[in-house]
Chains A and B, each alone.
Chain A
């Protein structure tokens, strides 16, 4: 086994221990939210969406009916079909075959997923040529806004792990033999399907993955003699598909394809199409899954038009009004976006990662999934984690600055952790999180 693999294993184990300690530290704060509810034994697996995944494992998916005579449109009613199937399936498997209680199946899965994410983060950073990948990979554990979400039982940690595997595959050097490439490509389609069936947010990676296909292919082609720039390569790539002979004749422009990102992107589309069809057939409602998101969860998904998005974020700058929840949400979401975009501004971060971050964040904003829970979406995205890891990595000449960057990241992590756990979550939205809150608690 290569030395970097052993290093990755060691980092995963050490980081895993740190992760478990952080979970332990977080648990009492979540448990406090349920102090009036004796039926909740271990609050983290009951909190927010975590309970829904367990209930899917126990009860299956439901398609809501309605009172006799007056059935509401299923699009307007809650259905667990909003939650993707892979994570509850994993919980069920762990419970049935591993004998783990469903109360703790989520945390066990999250710990396993974080070990996996750390392991592949080291390998990905190594592939990217980042110095000291073992230390930088620990940045995966400290996404700065909304970090708490990856410590809670939910699909976030698993989503991060699968995203990290995808990034590792994308950044792997081109194989020496086409048969090896074929084996790698064969893994990519199911990986893409798995990715989107963990969280539909994988779709936000579509354009980033398409860009990665062009960029990595360009890099590979340059190694075999391609001399032109990225835009020319993109044009050549397009021509090679529609007029293959035209490019083949030009021996000065050899194209070496890196299909991995494109196949993963295709897998995400295929997985999403499958889930959309499955939900629609089950409910009888065309595009049921999308209808659920845009009707029942309408407060999360906006139309995504620029005017609305600007209006939303502008609320963050209004004079402080403690009764305005939207204002708080806007400030928090804006901070999450800015923190995610920070690595994209640095030259220390490889161009591939920088552009992928911008494309992913841009897709998130334009699609309308920009208003709520965006901290979770960003915290669990491997591309953001790797971006931060690259940004924190020490440059050869200025190692002192790396320490300062780490201190900055840890300070952000600490402040937002306290804000989220001690202020936002208890204040929260009780109807959304289904908490029994103390009505006298006025934290602002």
Chain B
């Protein structure tokens, strides 16, 4: 750029001024970038039913795909004494984003020199898996009522009194490694501060996962007993449980299977001897 014998102070001063101007311009450009970053949106993207909805990590790579099918408000036989519940078949599929360990602020010093991946295993976390636990499901309603996942009362009745074997969501955390899929039937209801159980007119269901820093998560907006306000909103229809299960069975949904004759006979015998209270 310059040779020592040709350099004069006048030339040097001119060069320095240019360097300072360029530095100022570059700094200004970086401040503009800082003011208007490529937005890393954190939150929910409204999803539609029947197609895989991605859950993105902080580098916008898909960590998980969630597909919901056949959402409905399901009513149960009166003898079960269960309130209506929102049910849907959910298909989980692992994406390509690598899992990220939760930030651990208290790594014992004895482990400081170990590679981070080994510490990850030491901390008893699955090295290559995402976890979807019941706590990763979140629901918002306009009236502030709280979510309750279907529990043993429903699962036991269905197991004992219907011809279906259902793979429920919530019985245990789902652990998904690469190329793994899982199909579960998700049922939930709502409870307000007065302990009333009901299905609100509007609510939003959101899915999350553990072992990933999320930037986007799919959310599904439902309306019940009213007309949808936007194309993304999903309208829930009320169905009796038997019809709902028949519908899922007819569509060969992997969330449930018909019991074999032997299984049916065994359950009939058990039910006859020990009636469910």
Contact = CB atoms under 8 A, between A and B. Distances in A.
The 6 closest A-B pairs by CB, nearest first: A68-B208, A284-B40, A69-B138, A179-B4, A39-B108, A273-B30
A69 B218 CA distance: 9
Interface residues of A, number: 61
Interface residues of B, number: 62
Interface stretch (B21-29, B75-83, B244-252): B21-29
A189 B110 contact: no
A185 B19 CA distance: 10
A103 B109 contact: yes
Contacts of B106: 39, 434
Nearest to A283: B40
Given A46-B109, A68-B217, A280 B23 contact: no
Contact of B19 (A65, A80, A189, A269): A189
B148 interface: no
B112 A274 contact: no
Contacts of B110: 39, 41
A286 interface: yes
A54 B119 CA distance: 14
B86 interface: no
B37 to A, nearest CB: 4
Interface string B137-150: 11110000000000
A257 B9 CA distance: 9
A273 B208 contact: no
Given A54-B112, A65-B213, A68-B206, 8 more contacts: A39-B110, A55-B103, A55-B105, A178-B8, A178-B11, A276-B30, A281-B40, A284-B42
A135 B55 CA distance: 63
Residue among A41, A59, A272, A286 with the highest chain B CB neighbour number at 10 A: A59
Interface of B: 2-5, 7-9, 11-13, 15-17, 19-20, 23-24, 26-28, 30-31, 33-44, 58, 101, 103-110, 112-113, 116, 119, 136-140, 206-209, 213-215, 217, 219
Interface in A245-287: 256-257, 259, 262-263, 266-267, 269-270, 272-274, 276-277, 279-287
B116 A58 contact: yes
B40 to A, nearest CB: 3
Interface of A: 39-42, 45-46, 51, 54-55, 58-59, 62-71, 74, 80, 95, 101-103, 177-179, 181-182, 185, 189, 241, 256-257, 259, 262-263, 266-267, 269-270, 272-274, 276-277, 279-289, 434
30 contacts: A39-B106, A39-B109, A40-B108, A55-B105, A59-B101, A63-B213, A64-B103, A68-B137, A68-B209, A69-B139, A101-B113, A178-B9, A179-B2, A179-B4, A179-B7, A181-B9, A185-B16, A256-B9, A266-B19, A270-B26, A270-B27, A270-B30, A273-B26, A273-B27, A273-B34, A276-B31, A280-B35, A284-B37, A285-B37, A289-B34
Contacts of B44: 69
Nearest to B24: A266
